[in-house]
Structure 1
Amino acid sequence: MTDFVVRPITDDERRPTFDLLGQALHSPQLSDETWAQIGDSWAAPGKFGAFADDRPIGITSGFATTIAVPGGAVLPAAAVDGVGVRADWTRRGVVTALMSAQLNDLAERGTSLACLHASEAVIYGRFGYGIATSGATVRIDHPARLREGAEAGGAVRLLDTGEARAQLPALYQRIGLHRPGMIARPSLWWPIALNRRLSREGGYRVAVHTGPNGEDDAFAMFKSVDQSTAADPERGVLLEVRDLQGANPEAIAALWRFLLSIDLVATVSSRFRPVDEPLSVLLTDPRRARTTEVEDDLWLRLVDVAGALAARTYGPGEPVVFEVDDRLLPANRGRYRVGPDGAGHTDAGADLRLDADTLAMLYLGEWRASTLAQAGRITVVDPAAPARADTLFATGTRPWCGTYF
């Protein structure tokens, strides 16, 4: 018997649980002014709290969104945007109870997928989450110029704070979920993403590209970071690009051209860019662009395995039967036939056996089944099956999320 209870939070518990999450993540104490700016983003639905003597000691938060999967389908998903436990209650089963309650609630609601960005990589695999996309940190050193023909014209303009808040939600929606792994940004996402960053303290600015057809088709959020020191007072500014989204490669290239043209900038840097973004070959000098790190980005969880497998498309080749084990959601356990014509339950014998977190790693196409089998994450029954699964799950475009939450 536990000495705490897990239940959905109420509206009155939004601020205490947000403060609890901030403490767990070692964030500065939130002021009333800041809460007024972002509080609407911390809505009670989708949040489960752990309570001892009616005081919050743990929280898991999520909001409803949608996610693009290979083939172009868009599925209902939950973006898990905060998990934390009070320091004196850790290692006592609180996170397990919270995550279990959240996942069972999502399953009852018919949510296909859940996703998160992991603060610690060792935590979420045991809850069925697997690394489903990667992100690259890129640095472009001055002087750097784009090659002729990399972008198709148009114009770039800077928005003031009010314009950015008014225009970016509709622009992101118009850009669309054109890569597997991209998620929709509901209205409650924008206040916490924009209000603090566009404030004087946040220091971010927004540039928008208008295409030759007169329609806005890309935007970038960025800020200047002073790199000068007493030993190097003339060192130029670092331009940190937080969010760069575009409807097509030409519009994205136009924004990179603009960012690289800003005066007194020594380096342009951005984290969690698509690993396959062709930055170096966009430049006249490809050595100006460097990928300094590739790290895990979006972690995915199939809440409804049958529905999620049936929703995406597959490459050509012979079918593969997967036997899936799911400790937290037993309804997902079973064997699934995956082939060019789709996926569904089967009574046929298994070719490959794997857990829910490994299936999540395969789902968007980021990982090859043969690689995961070599790592011991897949039990191989038919030696020919990993190669067949590689072909089935391969995607023409590498998955990418591109949204912080």
Structure 2
Amino acid sequence: MTPRDTIDVRPITEPETRDWIRALNAGFLRSPEVSERELADRSSYLVPERTLGAFDGDLPHSRLRSSGGTPIVATFRSFPQELTAVGGTPVPANAITNVTVTATHRRRGLLTRMMAADLAAAKARGDVVATLIAAEYPIYGRYGFGPATCTTQWTVDVPRAGLDPRWSGPPAGGRIDLVDAEDVRRIGPELHERFRRAQPGAVSRTDRWWQINTGVLRLDRVPWTEPFYAVYRSAAGEVEGLVSYESDDNWGDAKQPLNTAEVNWLIAVTPEAERALWQYLCSIDWITRVKTGWRAPDDLLPHVLPDPRAAHITTQSDWLWVRILDVVRALEARTYAGTGTLVLEVADRDGLSAGRYRLDAGPAGADCAPTTQRAELTLDVSDLAALWLGDESAVRLAALGRVREEREGAASVADALLRTSRRPWCPDTF
């Protein structure tokens, strides 16, 4: 076993990109081979100084080395992102992805070293939070991340839904049209900007996201099938919703169509648009099931249906994890349902956000500053992250022993300030 102190953790150089991709693929249990197209694609967006690798010089014959350099046995990457806080303010985020440690090098502190270097750089840059989608639950809490949003998938049994089979379009002058990929690239980014500014937990999308999701950019490891795209326009002609979906081709023994429509993504900026798009999907001839894709856990969908039991949950899980890097800016960025004051003692074993803070909050915003006043609520930075977007309850965390009341009733005060009427949601993975 290679001693820990002989494994070098550092940003990669441009000539090491291919070997970094090989290590990434191996870490995700894919073939390590790297095509020229994959190399060109990843090279177009990787930022070397934010792309870390762990280099083990004691592996002279490793399959993870293709260019004659030192084999890479762990990978880590971050990139700039915006995350919408409660109330609609976007905050700068350090988005983390492509985290792997090769199976032969586990339990040597490599992820800890890469995470520490990246989070320190993010704090120095002025990022308010760090974000990630956790493949496994137990990993990231020890680095100060907390699960801040959840996601749910439903499967709708269309014949049981109770919808009027004669439905032919939205009421009140709205309309739904099929559009092509070029239309989506033209209208989608602006619609998404309107959506994410109103949705706590939503993150920014790059031009590359739209290219991948409309087939302009084809990835070797992601088979591409041209989907259907449908747009909802209001009576005034305003684009208010957009959905991408696919259908299989399944027929029963009695020559009956039993097709499933699978939603890739659906965004809407009004309830009318959201309801109309779900009803449209459930009204397509031959479609007997609709799979919703990743949705907010309090999505309108089940109750759009006359029989909500026709939509059964197939997946429900944590989704976006958040790590607060600047407590003051994070708490001042959001709005609050009520008015009140709370003194928080925030523990952070990495020292990035530890301290005691006084929060004076109200519907118009908040002031937050370090204080020497007596703490009313003590919690870890990971639990503050779970509370920050409004999805978790301080009373619940106190019952679990994760939050400690220093003043009786402080957890209830925190809930009255922090919780939101609709749940935060992140539609994207990264």
Amino acid corresponding to residue 46 of structure 1 in structure 2: R
Alpha-carbon distance in 2 for matches of 1:363, 1:378: 14
Per the alignment, residue 336 of structure 1 pairs with 357
CA drift at 1:243: 1.1
Do the aligned residues in 2 keep the contact of 1:141 with 1:266 (CA within 8 Å)? yes
Do the aligned residues in 2 keep the contact of 1:309 with 1:344 (CA within 8 Å)? no
Alpha-carbon distance in 2 for matches of 1:19, 1:235: 44
Unmatched segments (≥5 aa) in structure 1: none
Q: Indicate which of 68, 78, 97 corresponds to 1:62.
A: 78
Matching of residue 12 in structure 1 with residue 15 in structure 2: yes
CA drift at 1:217: 2.3
Alpha-carbon distance in 1 for matches of 2:243, 2:333: 32
Alpha-carbon distance in 2 for matches of 1:38, 1:258: 37
**Residues 120-154 of structure 1 deviation map (CA, whole Å, 9 limit, x = unaligned):** 00000001110101111111112246578986543
Alpha-carbon distance in 2 for matches of 1:47, 1:286: 46
Do the aligned residues in 1 keep the contact of 2:244 with 2:265 (CA within 8 Å)? yes
Per the alignment, residue 394 of structure 2 pairs with 369
Structure with higher Rg: it is 2
Alpha-carbon distance in 1 for matches of 2:235, 2:348: 50
Do the aligned residues in 2 keep the contact of 1:182 with 1:400 (CA within 8 Å)? yes
Amino acid corresponding to residue 18 of structure 1 in structure 2: I
Q: 1:304-323 alignment to 2 at 5 Å?
A: 304-323=326-345
**Residues 183-205 of structure 1 deviation map (CA, whole Å, 9 limit, x = unaligned):** 11123444455534898734533
Per the alignment, residue 65 of structure 2 pairs with none
Per the alignment, residue 96 of structure 1 pairs with 112
Per the alignment, residue 22 of structure 1 pairs with 25
Computed over aligned residues only, the root mean square deviation of the Cα atoms, in angstroms, reads 2.8
Alpha-carbon distance in 2 for matches of 1:370, 1:113: 24
Do the aligned residues in 2 keep the contact of 1:228 with 1:236 (CA within 8 Å)? yes
- Larger RCO of the pair (alpha carbons < 8 Å, separation 6+): 1
CA drift at 1:308: 0.9
Per the alignment, residue 3 of structure 1 pairs with 6
Distance 1:294 1:375, change over 3 A: same
Aligned sequence identity (%): 34
Count, aligned residues: 403
Distance 1:308 1:145, change over 3 A: same
Per the alignment, residue 155 of structure 1 pairs with 175
Q: Indicate which of 92, 96, 117 corresponds to 1:80.
A: 96
Per the alignment, residue 46 of structure 1 pairs with 50
Alpha-carbon distance in 2 for matches of 1:197, 1:141: 33
Per the alignment, residue 392 of structure 1 pairs with 417
Distance 1:200 1:91, change over 3 A: closer
Distance 1:16 1:264, change over 3 A: farther
Distance 1:113 1:254, change over 3 A: same
Alpha-carbon distance in 2 for matches of 1:3, 1:301: 29
Per the alignment, residue 310 of structure 2 pairs with 288
CA drift at 1:108: 0.6
CA drift at 1:244: 0.8
Do the aligned residues in 1 keep the contact of 2:244 with 2:264 (CA within 8 Å)? yes
CA drift at 1:113: 0.9
**TM-score normalised over the length of structure 1:** 0.90
Matching of residue 168 in structure 1 with residue 188 in structure 2: yes
Distance 1:261 1:27, change over 3 A: farther
Q: Indicate which of 137, 151, 168 corresponds to 1:121.
A: 137
Distance 1:337 1:47, change over 3 A: same
CA drift at 1:253: 1.7
Per the alignment, residue 178 of structure 1 pairs with 198
Name the stretch that deviates more: 358-367 or 183-192. Answer: 183-192
Per the alignment, residue 106 of structure 1 pairs with 122
Per the alignment, residue 254 of structure 1 pairs with 276
CA drift at 1:221: 1.9
CA drift at 1:26: 2.2
Per the alignment, residue 354 of structure 1 pairs with 379
**Residues 160-195 of structure 1 deviation map (CA, whole Å, 9 limit, x = unaligned):** 344444543343224342111111112344445553
Unmatched segments (≥5 aa) in structure 2: 58-69
Amino acid corresponding to residue 84 of structure 1 in structure 2: T
Which secondary structure state, in structure 1, belongs to the residue aligned with residue 429 of structure 2?
coil
Amino acid corresponding to residue 429 of structure 2 in structure 1: Y
Distance 1:225 1:116, change over 3 A: farther
Per the alignment, residue 235 of structure 2 pairs with 212
Q: Indicate which of 243, 264, 268 corresponds to 2:265.
A: 243
**TM-score normalised over the length of structure 2:** 0.85
Which secondary structure state, in structure 1, belongs to the residue aligned with residue 289 of structure 2?
strand
Amino acid corresponding to residue 294 of structure 2 in structure 1: F
Do the aligned residues in 1 keep the contact of 2:23 with 2:102 (CA within 8 Å)? yes
CA drift at 1:65: 1.3
CA drift at 1:277: 1.4
Name the stretch that deviates more: 172-181 or 246-255. Answer: 172-181
Which secondary structure state, in structure 2, belongs to the residue aligned with residue 77 of structure 1?
strand
Alpha-carbon distance in 1 for matches of 2:392, 2:336: 14
Name the stretch that deviates more: 367-376 or 388-397. Answer: 388-397
Distance 1:38 1:368, change over 3 A: same
Distance 1:200 1:21, change over 3 A: closer
